[in-house]
Amino acid sequence: MKRLCFFLLWFILLFSLLHSQRFGKNKIQYKDFDWKHIKTPHFTIYYYQGEEELAKFAAQVAEDSYYQLKEDLSHTFRKRMPLIIYNSHNDFEQTNVTTSLIEESVGGFTEIFKNRMVVPFEGSYERFRHVINHELVHVFQFDILFGSRLGSVMQSEFMMSVPLWVMEGLAEFESLNWDSETESYLRDAVINNRLIPIQTLNYVYGYAVYKEGQSIYKFISETYGRKKMGELFHTLKQKKGLEKALKSTIGLSIDQLNREWSKSLKKRYWPLYDKKDELDLIARKLTDHKKLGNAYNVSPSISPDGTKIAFLTDKEEYTEILIISAIDGEILKKIARATQSATFENLHILRPGISWSRDGNKIAFSAKSGKGDVIYIADAEHGRILSVLRPECDAVYSPNFSPVENSIVFTGIKDGMSDIYIIDVETQKLTRLTKDLYDDRDPVFSPQGDFIVFSSDREDVSDSLWHYGNYALFKIEKNGEGIEQLTERESNLGNPAFSEDGKKIIFVSDIEGVNNLYILEIDNLNIYRLTDVFSNVSSPTLSRDDRKLAFTGYEEGGYDVYIMHNPFDYAKAEPGERVDYNRRYTVVKNDYKLDNEEKAGLNFSTDWAGGYLVFASGYGFRSLMAIAFSDVLGNNRLYFAFDLYSRNLLDANFQVIYWFLPKRWDLGAAIFQEKSYYLIFPSSTEGNVTLMQEILRGGSVLLRLPIDKFHRFDVGADAFSVQQVFEWIDEWGELVEERTVPHYVVLPTISWIRDTALWGYTGPINGERWKFSFAKSIPQVAKHSFDYSILYGDIRNYNRISQGFSFATRIYGFSSWGKDALYYPLGGSESVRGYDYYSFYGTKAGFLNLELRYPFIERLKMRFPLPLDIRGVRGVTFCDIGGVTDELKNFKTAIKSKGQIKLDDLKVGFGTGIRINISIAILKLDFAWHTNLESVSRMYTHFSLGSEF
């Protein structure tokens, strides 16, 4: 019976839907989307109510991009590809096309198995066009390299060998051609010797692969012709390697391509450097991203008296709003930290905006909280939240206080339109100033509060044509009347900041190639250049006396806060020659019709499949198969796993799982059969070897009830039977079979889960994860039913010490009671290391894991005896303490032996290990010893797969 209780616990912890869902943040569907679709010649476009204009735009962009890519890449589709659009990033984060959580930095994605493109609208039709075009490039790439879905699965190993810059660089180049953001990045990388060689770029992830990859393709296109990009991908499929593909396509090795590409960039940028201003010579840096070990210190907002600056930073992996001294950059107050609670799920660091009240006592900022964006008003001195404003918008950006009234102007996205709103702080009355398709952003009140200036790509007053993605400054009365254009338009123009007298505006424009600061004189609309830096600047903000100007500057791969004194005293400089990058563009027709609109049906298709099947005459089948199905929106998912090692299909092990995901709550159900075989040898030379089967059949149901992104209840039940079958040959040579009476388990369970962990390369590095679970079997359901209860708690905490270093703790407690109480095994990699697996067992168990995690080997490269290139190996040093017992009163922590304290029931293990992320899995190798304080054991080696606890 004790062995059977081990078997039950093993099943419950590994196969039950209820107990296998240990941790994880919650992806909550706050909306019931009513999906429709239309079909174009090459796409099926999915959208919901309020997205009709977006669907029209997406249809035209997708078809236009298709024909351009067909020409460039010499490839066509054999079937329509799905394009799924959301009218805000908050809605996009609810998608079930992927079960992974979607962060703010994800602008869209393409799912490889069904080539589904999923794209949000974030206010700008130009960005929307760019992302559709970008994701469509990936569809072409996947279709060229892998063709069918089965091919995708079978060649997944080849997919991992394709460097990310090869994929993302082409997507950026085809969707943008060139732009000021990429120009700024490359200028800085070349001048500051930060350009990553292609040989190293092959192993890099993140922003660099997009921008440097874009630059590499620009070089190939301009040097060898645009057709070479498509040739490269077709050759890559044939040659199964980048080096061979480049040699065959352009005649260069990776080393040669890197030399020629980097040389061309140096020729372009070194002569330019001497003509530009250095940031440190025109302003003083108040933050230092290199010392902080971060990338973003952005969106400064200076207090009216010029003594303090509020800004957004990611200095400790989390996005925070800090207030620092405008004199020396000393941190004065932390206002908010994102991704640790439902209050501040996201602080919009990629589209930031912070505003001070006129009296300097309060700041306003927007954040994602629960189902949507809100505006917080915080006490600037103490950090307390004073008010929460909840505009009825899909997204909220750039709040700005009125200088004369208790109101805030902001940009709101609703039903696919980015417009200007004013909200009353006291009554929360909402006034919409604009209502159109144009991207209206960065609104600010004039110092007198009588009008608002904002950036927009709306039609010119002169020609009435919509140049989406080309921005100018506009003026509007606070009642929504009298829109007036103040500047000509550029690809990027915005972030206006008023002088105190209201006669001048400092703003950002990329008219000369990268973002710089300019001054607009409102009376005569004259424009003068304030800065002429080499990389870029943004987010200007002025003190009330106009003597201090704070802004964001980009240099050496990161953004920092700078302060400039007396900006209006600088000599007036005329803007230089306008730079046009000939960006990718699609002309759209406003009268485009949505024909053949239909409701989206429930059509299942294969997501992925894998396995093998063999047959031998006289033996039977041997197969192992796993296959997943879902509908196009991912709301209904079906998983099937099958393992057969017999002639008889009834002997197969299988598990079928179904998930229903479109609601706020998630419902899962499963059925399964699991057969295990054991040989029992006789205790003497006489007797027969016995074959024993353990057969488990049953099902599970699970209801996930999220409270917010970080907390949920899991409620459900397992119901299954367990039977043992013994087979042996008797003395007459006959096969004898003996079956035990089946035992039954009906096990309702409830769990509470909290997860705020921030993940690193091999596991969590900050935050915490908790789970408390209680289960009670129901013995009354059948005559031979198990009677037991389980209560366990799992508390994990992670503290970042410094860049790359963290300290992790885990406290686990388990208790089972009842007639058939379950036994918990202690020992091995998942509990107390330094002992063999299952060295100890008891109905009561507990252990503590302590781990210091740190970088170990940055890169290990060998050529003999095997070519090997391993990067990012991490190390751990650990100590594990635990124990098990059947009765707590009988648990002896230690005993005295020969005058010394010697551990008894308390077990201690310690050691060190390494962690290697190989993409498909994380390898964990631990070297451990145990001690009783009197002696130290031999070394135990523990090898396992999976993330760190």
Q: Write the pLDDT tens digit of every residue in 693-739.
A: 888 899 999 999 999 999 999 999 999 898 888 887 776 767 777 87
Confidence band for 827, pLDDT divided at 50, 70 and 90:
very high
Mean pLDDT of the chain: 90
Q: Is the pLDDT of residue 150 over 50?
A: no
- Lookup: tokens for 946: 């999976």
CA atoms in the 13 A half-sphere facing the CB of 636: 8
pLDDT of residue 815: 97
- Lookup: tokens for 913: 């290990």
- Lookup: tokens for 423: 């909200």
Which of 13-17, 26-30, 54-58, 230-234 comes out lowest in average pLDDT? Answer: 13-17
Confidence band for 450, pLDDT divided at 50, 70 and 90:
very high
Q: Is the pLDDT of residue 16 over 80?
A: no
Confidence band for 169, pLDDT divided at 50, 70 and 90:
very high
Query: Which runs of E-coded beta strand occur in 707-782?
Result: 711-729, 735-739, 743-755, 758-759, 764-776
For the stretch 75-114, pLDDT in tens is 998 899 999 999 999 999 999 999 999 999 999 999 988 8
Q: What kind of fold does domain 33-161 have according to CATH?
A: Glutaredoxin (3.40.30)
Please tell me the distance from the alpha carbon of residue 227 to that of residue 168, in angstroms, as a whole number.
18
- Lookup: tokens for 807: 């300290």
Which of 100-109, 663-672, 867-876 comes out lowest in average pLDDT? Answer: 867-876
CATH class given for the domain over 798-949 = mainly beta
pLDDT of residue 63: 95
**Is residue 279 a contact partner of residue 557, using CB atoms and an 8 Å limit?**
no
**Is residue 922 a contact partner of residue 916, using CB atoms and an 8 Å limit?**
yes
- Among 649, 667, 647, 648, smallest CA distance to 657 is for 667
Q: Is the pLDDT of residue 306 over 90?
A: yes
Q: β-strands 711-729, 844-862: how paired?
A: unpaired
pLDDT of residue 767: 94
Pairwise pLDDT comparison (358 vs 21), residue with the higher score? 358
**pLDDT cut 70: percent of the chain above it:** 93
For the stretch 373-425, pLDDT in tens is 999 999 999 999 999 999 999 999 999 999 999 999 999 999 889 999 999 99
Beta bridge partners of 876: 853, 913
Stated pTM of the model: 0.91
640 three-state secondary structure: strand
Please provide the CATH number assigned to the domain covering 299-497+509-514+521-526.
2.120.10.30
Confidence band for 154, pLDDT divided at 50, 70 and 90:
very low
429 three-state secondary structure: coil
Pairwise pLDDT comparison (876 vs 687), residue with the higher score? 876
133 three-state secondary structure: helix
Each domain of the chain, given as residue ranges in start order, spans: 33-161, 162-275, 299-497+509-514+521-526, 798-949
pLDDT of residue 15: 55
For the stretch 240-276, pLDDT in tens is 889 999 999 999 999 999 999 999 999 999 999 889 9
For every residue of 844-909, DSSP letters joined together read EEEEEEEEEEEEEEEEEEE-SSS-EEEEEEEEEEEEEEEEEES-GGG--SEEEETTEEEESS-EEE
For every residue of 633-684, DSSP letters joined together read TSSEEEEEEEEEEES-GGG-EEEEEEEE-SSSSEEEEEEEEEEEEEEE--SS
Q: Is the pLDDT of residue 155 over 70?
A: no
Please tell me the distance from the alpha carbon of residue 846 to that of residue 824, in angstroms, as a whole number.
9
pLDDT of residue 824: 93
Please tell me the distance from the alpha carbon of residue 620 to that of residue 647, in angstroms, as a whole number.
4
Pairwise pLDDT comparison (3 vs 845), residue with the higher score? 845
Averaged pLDDT, 550-571: 95
Confidence band for 941, pLDDT divided at 50, 70 and 90:
very high
CA distances from 268 to 185, 187, 265, 271 (A): 14, 9, 5, 7
Please tell me the distance from the alpha carbon of residue 110 to that of residue 115, in angstroms, as a whole number.
6
Averaged pLDDT, 325-344: 93
pLDDT of residue 153: 45
Beta bridge partners of 444: 453
**Is residue 632 a contact partner of residue 114, using CB atoms and an 8 Å limit?**
yes
CA distances from 352 to 139, 390, 400, 540, 888 (A): 31, 18, 12, 12, 55
Residue that has been written with the tokens 């035209």 in this structure: 60
Q: Is the pLDDT of residue 327 over 80?
A: yes
Rg over alpha carbons for the chain, rounded to the nearest Å, is 32
Confidence band for 160, pLDDT divided at 50, 70 and 90:
low
For the stretch 754-779, pLDDT in tens is 999 999 989 999 999 999 999 999 98
For the stretch 581-612, pLDDT in tens is 888 888 887 777 777 888 988 888 888 887 76
Q: Is the pLDDT of residue 807 over 50?
A: yes
Q: β-strands 395-401, 385-389: how paired?
A: unpaired
